Each structure stands twice: as structure tokens, then as C-alpha cells.
Amino acid sequence: MSQYVPPALKRRFPKVADLAPLMQFKTPRFGTEARVQAANTIWDLRDIAKRRTPAAPFDYTDGAAEAEITLRRAREAFLDLEFRPGILRNVAAVDLSTEILGATSSMPFGIAPTGFTRMMQSEGEYAGSRAARDAGIPYTLSTMGTASLEDVAAAAPDGRNWFQLYLWTDRDRSMALIERAARAGNDTLMVTVDTPVGGARLRDVRNGMTIPPSLTLKTVLDASYRPAWWFDFLTREPLSFASLSRYSGTVAQLIDSMFDPTLSFEDLAWLRETWKGKLVVKGLQTVDDAKRVVDYGADGIVLSNHGGRQLDRAPIPLHLLPDVAAALKGKTDIILDTGIMSGGDIIAAMALGADFTLVGRAYLYGLMAGGRAGVDRTIEILRGEMTRTMKLLGANKISDLNPDHVRLLGTQ
């Protein structure tokens, strides 16, 4: 009894016409742009960044305080959640835009303030502010940024620029800086309140991290594997800061010498009277403190533990978010940072009650991986992940998201 053999399984010699569609050889591409375009996730960009950046600046970005428990828990919070998709919705079109602090952002995230940014990669704040401008999202310059308020405004004059402030013990110098921020066109002032002293960032201590980086035997050996970083660092303008004179010492020493451990809510009241634009308070870690800063006139709050870089075992912003949203949604703009490494993380935060998010490390990994091209790729990756997540959840716009779309495992 013969066995039937389907025509599709019979052996034959391949025809040239059949092979042609399979032979799609692409011209090899090399260089920074090709490298970052091949990255599919922020973690891919991190891998590239680690290969291209000396240990001290990479670890300054990548690390956190003490045993880095807070940072690990922040990531675990995003990993340990469950999306609950709605089906049979028409999601052919998705709109990621949202309102934040009185204006529209094309996506529900902005670039967080980061210190010493040109140390990570020489384009620094200029790459970040221009990429944010072109993407239609806010960019936040840090007090400890390595480009001045005026230079960032000139680099991205039509961007939405915010300024992050540490209140100094010298209030006259703080006032001068606030006035510069206003003259430079910043519409939002973000005051950080979680740094009465510097956190114990042990990677920096072990690396002998100084500002600027020291040319020790260890750093020279490390540089031999990363010549492009050192070429850029040594052939461009030396590091200087948005508001500080040049400083030599550890990051913790800089913070301890500059920031005011006596800062109180009365100082926040003074700042509210002084600054005429939008005022945001960054570093909220309890519901009670969040309520209180709103009573003192804050237009927005940032739930943040400083990326795990201050108090180890601090509250996790994502876990805090539902309670803060229940207490303050509609009374102030609620912004969240710490631990965000994907577009899905951003969508989860928005569903749980955030009005906006900030990305810091994710942006810096892109910057270290490829300068401006790497920052653009970071934004592209997050945009694509957010769009796909929204469609799979059955949501057309950010305002469609609600707590029914997300479950924090082990808490509900």
C-alpha cells in the first residue's frame, strides 16, 4: 500500500525565481548610528554604553547607594506587575500625547535632571535637550549639569526646558540662579528635597570617582579600552557646571559642601513666592509629605527616591503611587521616576495614576552608547514600546488608561 506524499513535501531542485526573494543581502553598516539602531531595548543600549564608557562614569550612572537594594526593588516593582488587556477594541490609531503642567507633551515622559552629564558622553545636555525638543517632550537641566542654563536655551530655544534646583545655604546665590532660569525661558522649576546629605554611593568610592575624572594608573588602563571616550573628553571644553564653580573632589563631598541640611517647609513657601512659573517638588516618598507640599503651593510632585542613590531601602515610587493618586489626583500633577527601563513601565505608571514620568538612567545609557543618536534611539524605543503596549491593552489614548489595566502582584 503506497503512502501518499503531499506535493509540498516532494524533493525538487530549487528554481532561481524561488531563491531570489530569499537573497536579500544588506549593505553592512558601521559606526555609532548603526550600532545604536541595532539596539532593540534600553538594556541593549546599556550593554553598548558599558563597553564604550570608562568604569567610573558608567558606574556613577548605573549604581546606587550602599547595597543598591532600593534600585533593585524599584526594578522588581515594574517586573512584578500584571497587565490586564481589553480585547476587541479598535486600536488602529494610538495617541501618546498628554497634558503636563499646563502644556502638551507628545509622550507621557520627559528627560530627568542628571548631574555631570558631559562626563558620561561629551555631547551631554546638548544632545538631551535637542533630542527632547525634536521629540516634543520636556527636558530638565540639573543644577549639577555640565552645561549652563543659557547654553541649553541657545541649543534648544524652541524646546520645553525645565530647571532642577538644589536650594543652597546661600539664598542669594539660589535667587540669582532662579532669576537666570526665568530669563532663559524655563517654564518649570523642579526643586529636589531628598538630599540633605549625599548618599553612600559605594561604587563611586571604590572607583575613586572625582569631578573631573582623575588620570590615575587605574583610569589610564581603563581608558586604553575606550579611546573614543577619552578623545572626546580631552579634546572638548573641560567640564563646568550650570551653577557651580569648578570643583575637585568626590560627588558626596560636593553635595555635603553645597546643600542645606536645615531646609524646611518654610523654605518651600519662600520658593513659591519667589518663582512665578510652575513649581514642582521632587523627592516625595510618603503620602503625608506629598499632601503637605501641595498645601504649600506645589503645582506638581515627583514621587522619587533619587533613583536609589540616596537612602537605601527607601519607599518604591511605583508602590507609593496608588495611595498618592487616591489622595491627590486632580489636585496636583503627579510625576513618577526611578526604575523605568521600558515603555511598558511608563504605561503601567500612567495606568496606576501618574500624570507623567521622567527617565534618567535610560536616557544616559543611550547617551553613553551613541551621543545624540543614542538619545534619539532611547526615545524611539520607548515610543515603540508604549504604542505596542497601548494597543495590546486596548487603549487609544493616555486618558483611557486606569488602574483596571494593571495589577501589582502580591498587593491586590
Q: Which three cell numbers stand for residue 365?
A: 545609557
Task: Record the pTM.
Answer: 0.90
Q: Active site includes 319?
A: no
Residue 306 has pLDDT above 70, yes or no: yes
CA–CA distance, 121 with 228 (Å, rounded to integer): 10
Q: Is the pLDDT of residue 317 over 90?
A: yes
- Domains located in the chain, CATH noted: 40-408 (3.20.20.70)
Write out pLDDT tens, residues 40-58: 999 999 999 999 999 888 9
The torsion angle over the Cα atoms of residues 16, 17, 19 and 21, rounded to 10 degrees, is 150
| CB-CB neighbours of 61 under 10 Å | 24
Vertex 326, ends 323 and 331: CA angle to 5°? 120
**Closest residue by Cα to residue 314 from 203, 408, 195:** 195
The answer on pLDDT for 150 being more than 90 is yes
Q: Per-residue pLDDT tens for 5-24?
A: 888 888 877 777 777 777 67
3-state SS, residue 180 = helix
For residue 47, which phi and psi values (nearest 5 degrees)? -60, -40
260 has a pLDDT exceeding 90 = no
Contact between 52 and 229 under an 8 Å Cβ cutoff? The reply is yes
Amino acid 30 reads F
Q: Is the pLDDT of residue 258 over 70?
A: no
SS3 66: coil
Residue pair 370/61 in contact by the 8 Å Cβ criterion: no
Q: How far is CA 83 from the centre of its chain?
A: 22
DSSP state letters, 100-155: ETTEEESSSEEEPP-TTHHHHSTTHHHHHHHHHHHHT--EEE-TT-SS-HHHHHHH
Task: Identify the pLDDT of residue 89.
Answer: 92
Which residue among the candidates 52, 306, 309, 383 is catalytic per the annotation? 306
- CB distance 359 to 107 below 8 Å: no
